Structure formats: C-alpha cells, structure tokens
C-alpha cells in the first residue's frame, strides 16, 4: 500500500540549532516529493519540491531537502533554526501514475529560546 511516514510527531530544538525532519515513502513508482509548512490556523505553504535531477533541493526560508532513493527518504534540513520556524511540517508525495497527493501525519516543531 502507498504510504508516507513522518516518524517524529513532535520535535523541540533550540533557536540557532540545526534541524532535520524525517520523511519516508512507500511507493512503487517514481515519486514527486514536497515539503509544506503550516502555521497555526493557516493553510499549507510549499517549502520545496523534488521532481528529478539534483537530489539536494533548496527551498524558501533557508530550508533544504535531500532525496535518497535507496532509503526512500526525503528529509528536510535547516542549518540554524529561527523562532519563526515553529510550525507543523508535512511531507507529501505524488506518484507518476497517480493523480492524488498524499500527506504524512506531520511533525510539529517547537523552538526553544
């Protein structure tokens, strides 16, 4: 069955520390991968996406993500977290032969001063 897994429900990091949010997918076909961010009471905003080519992709707000086919992963990273990054982060997958977009359960990020 197709699935998107975000193993970490909640992560707390100190401001200025580095961040890595995990995302694993289980799909038979070539995936298109996305990371979205949701601030409280808001809709989702795209951070970055991977379709093909360079496996390290850059996004907005200083985020990057690396696609690793061998590990079926698409982890999100940021070298230095800011208090404004506190939000919920969702990994999403679309496959070549499907028309729907599936999301992981989300990871809530708390940033300590």
Partner 1 sequence: NAGVTQTPKFRILKIGQSMTLQCTQDMNHNYMYWYRQDPGMGLKLIYYSVGAGITDKGEVPNGYNVSRSTTEDFPLRLELAAPSQTSVYFCASSYLGGAGSTEAFFGQGTRLTVV
Residues that bind partner 1 in the complex, under the rule CB under 8 A = 6, 9, 32, 34, 36, 41-46, 49, 51, 90, 92, 94-106
The DSSP string of 24-90 is EEE-SSPEEEEEEEE-TTS-EEEEEEE-SS-SEEE-GGG-EEEEEGGGTEEEEEESS--GGG-EEEE
Would you say 3 or 18 has its CB closer to partner 1? 3
Q: Nearest approach, Cβ of 113 to partner 1 (angstroms)? A: 26
Radius of gyration, CA atoms only, the chain:
14
User: Is 29 or 56 the residue whose CB approaches partner 1 more closely?
Assistant: 29
**Smallest gap, in angstroms, from Cβ of residue 61 to partner 1?**
15
Is the CB of 15 or the CB of 38 nearer to partner 1?
38
């Amino acid at each position: 069955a197709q699935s998107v897994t975000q193993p970490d429900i909640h992560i707390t990091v100190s401001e200025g520390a580095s961040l890595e949010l995990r995302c694993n997918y289980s799909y038979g076909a070539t995936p298109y991968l996305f990371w979205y961010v949701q601030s409280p009471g808001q809709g989702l905003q795209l951070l970055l996406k991977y379709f093909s080519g360079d496996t390290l992709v850059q996004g907005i707000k200083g985020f990057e993500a690396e696609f690793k086919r061998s590990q079926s992963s698409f982890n999100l990273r940021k070298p230095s977290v800011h208090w404004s990054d506190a939000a919920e982060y969702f990994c999403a997958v679309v496959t070549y032969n499907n028309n729907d977009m599936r999301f992981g359960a989300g990871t809530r990020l708390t940033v300590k001063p």
